[in-house]
Structure 1
Amino acid sequence: MLAPDLTAALERIPGWFWPTDQRLFEWFLSEGDNRGDVLELGTYLGKSAVLIGTRVRQSETFTVCDLFESDAPDAHNDAETTRSYSTLTRDRFEQNYLSVHETLPEIVHGPTSIILDHVGADTCRFVHVDASHLYTHVKGDVLAARTVLKEDGVVAFDDYRSEHTPGVALAVWEAVAGHGLAPICVSTQKLYATWGDPSPVQERLLDWLASRPDLWHTTDVLGERILVRINQRKKPKPAASPASDLERLATELRQTTAELKKATAESRNAVQALKKATKEVSVLGPVAHRAAGWLRRRTTPGK
């Protein structure tokens, strides 16, 4: 479970990094004794980078690569960044990251196509790919991830199935079909895979998922492989117990009875007041008639 202060920090930072993937990142980055560096291609404002930074071990290097506010390498990529990432700047990323961590990761300020000039082959245990959504660039990111990952390293691809990112889907599933990429699991937003043997990590993942009541999972058969599907379990609405139902009904009955008694008392008082007024009218009627006759006789001449 994420620490409360980290959860609060992630909620403050804009971006698309859902709770299911936060749990999975934490698990992939913490499980086992596999040592190696960590790389993020496309970091936006640092939401996922902040979490990754909490799981980087001593002697490991965490590198992030992003264009930030710089010009894109081609017109299509420039249109994409202008449309989707107009608020992204390196300063904002650094401010968000330093709100949680004391030091910044290694920052490669530029397109992901230059990452192999900064990160060595077979050095990384985990790579997060969330940069351009254009097929040509994602294909390059797939090949870069394959180059820098160690034998049992894990790569996470964002937006592998979104309707607005078909280029990501094509590049990722092309790697699965023809370049040896083996899926481990998927969430609604990310696909986690390896170029090694996925079975051992899948077994450990399933054991961990069995202890997580906040996540649901199922497995699908993909030919000779299996794929684990994971999502956050919706919290059920608390069911009212029979005792609480009876207590609520008793309270409502008491309130209704009190209101009925009040209405009855007011009705009784109104009836009594009407009877009194009727009686007074019946008594005063003859007296008023005699007084009017006396007054008429006194004022009539000759009477």
Structure 2
Amino acid sequence: MATAQATDMKQPGELKDVPGWFPPLDQLLFTWFLARQETGGRRGDLLELGAYMGKSAILLGQHLQDGEEFTVCDLFGGEAPDGANRAETAKSYSSLTRRAFERNYLSFHDELPRVIEAPTSVIPREVAPGTCRFVHIDASHLYEHVRDDIGAARDLLLPDGIVVLDDFRSEHTPGVSVATWEAVLNRGLRPICLSTQKLYGTWGDPEPVQEELLAMLRDRTDVGLSVQEAAGHRLVRTRAHKELQPPPFPHSRHYTEPEPVAPPAPPTPTPTPRHRPSRARRLGRDLLPPIITRAVRRALAARA
């Protein structure tokens, strides 16, 4: 794998510091699907189409097993293949550079994944068919490109591999919605579950993984859950409650513990001013006999 040097730009200390759209619910689901594959002895490569600043790629890289390869494909601000894609890239990803992605990724990992700086249309030539266990599609939002990315994922995945489609129901990405549901209705894609942003599916049998997923989610109080049927497919819908926190993730090598904040010192009590006797009282105390002085004091105290 390739390596790169860190730059003098601000380095992320935690995964949440990396720019990008990767909500806690999807971090939870990515972690669960990948860990399920690993504990079940499933092996295969990882693939991400569209990486932005590397937030989801960093999590994927945490699950790379010995002998597996992780490939990331993105334009990284390079030349788009057509006018519509160029316009989309200029509008949404003008700040994206490969250098920023590599800086963020290497904050958490010793080596970079295999990085392909090109349109995702090159992937069928770069990744062998039937070698991937997990594919994340988050590249172009244009229908024609998403349709082709889904077709590539179908060919590259192992029989029970998982594909994740981002922005399948966002109002600004209708092309992704059309390509996604077209794949479900006409191209054999079987949904496993839906989050607010992503559809998780397979071209294998979804029922075993769905049953395990449902068992996990039903034990949680921080994720909303419902099950619906549509066009012969069981749709497991998930929704994050506001108290949901992302799963634990290792700090980057640049993380520093926050300075402990000392509790504020308690306020110093203001001393109660002592009443100073008047001059007349002082003279009386000095001149009168003690027995009279005590009587006067008792009388004054009774009047107070």
The equivalent of 2:176 in structure 1 is: 168
Q: How does 1:98-247 map to 2 (within 5 A)?
A: 98-235=106-243
Q: Deviations over 1:261-294 (max 9, x none)?
A: xxxxxxxxxxxxxxxxxxxxxxxxxxxxxxxxxx
Select the structure with the greater relative contact order (CA < 8 A; seq sep ≥ 6).
Answer: 2
8 Å contact kept, 1:73–1:111:
yes
Query: Which amino acid is 2:174 matched to?
Result: P
Q: Does 1:77 align with 2:82?
A: no
SS in 2 for 1:231: strand
Number of aligned residues: 230
SS in 2 for 1:26: helix
The one of 30, 33, 40 equivalent to 1:28 is: 33
Q: Distance in 1 between matches of 2:166 and 2:158?
A: 20
Q: Does 1:14 align with 2:19?
A: yes
Q: Distance in 2 between matches of 1:9 and 1:97?
A: 11
Deviation at 1:8, TM superposition (A): 5.5
8 Å contact kept, 1:17–1:47:
yes
Q: Distance in 1 between matches of 2:220 and 2:87?
A: 41
Q: How does 1:38-53 map to 2 (within 5 A)?
A: 38-53=46-61
Q: Distance in 2 between matches of 1:57 and 1:133?
A: 30
Query: Which amino acid is 1:215 matched to?
Result: V
Following superposition, which runs of at least 4 residues in structure 1 exceed 4 angstroms of deviation? Answer: none
Deviation at 1:179, TM superposition (A): 0.5
Q: Distance in 2 between matches of 1:21 and 1:134?
A: 22
TM-score, length of structure 2 as denominator length: 0.74
Deviation at 1:109, TM superposition (A): 0.9
Stretches of structure 1 lacking an aligned partner (at least 5 in a row):
1-6, 237-303
SS in 2 for 1:191: strand
The equivalent of 1:54 in structure 2 is: 62
Instruction: From the superposition, tell whether residues 235 and 12 of structure 1 become closer, same or farther in structure 2 (CA, over 3 Å).
Output: closer
RMSD: 1.4
Q: Deviations over 1:102-160 (max 9, x none)?
A: 00001111000001111110000100000000001001101010010000001000000
Query: Which amino acid is 2:82 matched to?
Result: D
The equivalent of 1:281 in structure 2 is: none
Q: Distance in 2 between matches of 1:211 and 1:49?
A: 28
Q: Distance in 2 between matches of 1:190 and 1:217?
A: 15
Query: Which amino acid is 1:10 matched to?
Result: L
SS in 2 for 1:196: coil
Query: Which amino acid is 1:71 matched to?
Result: E
Query: Which amino acid is 1:157 matched to?
Result: L
SS in 1 for 2:101: helix
Query: Which amino acid is 2:140 matched to?
Result: S
The one of 102, 105, 112 equivalent to 1:94 is: 102
Q: Distance in 2 between matches of 1:228 and 1:204?
A: 12
Query: Which amino acid is 2:104 matched to?
Result: N
The equivalent of 2:259 in structure 1 is: none
The one of 62, 67, 90 equivalent to 2:75 is: 67
SS in 2 for 1:230: strand
Q: Deviations over 1:179-210 (max 9, x none)?
A: 10000000000000001111011011111112
8 Å contact kept, 1:14–1:45:
yes
Q: Distance in 2 between matches of 1:211 and 1:55?
A: 24
TM-score, length of structure 1 as denominator length: 0.74
Q: Distance in 1 between matches of 2:154 and 2:173?
A: 21
SS in 1 for 2:164: strand
8 Å contact kept, 1:29–1:56:
no
Identity %: 56
Q: Distance in 2 between matches of 1:56 and 1:215?
A: 27
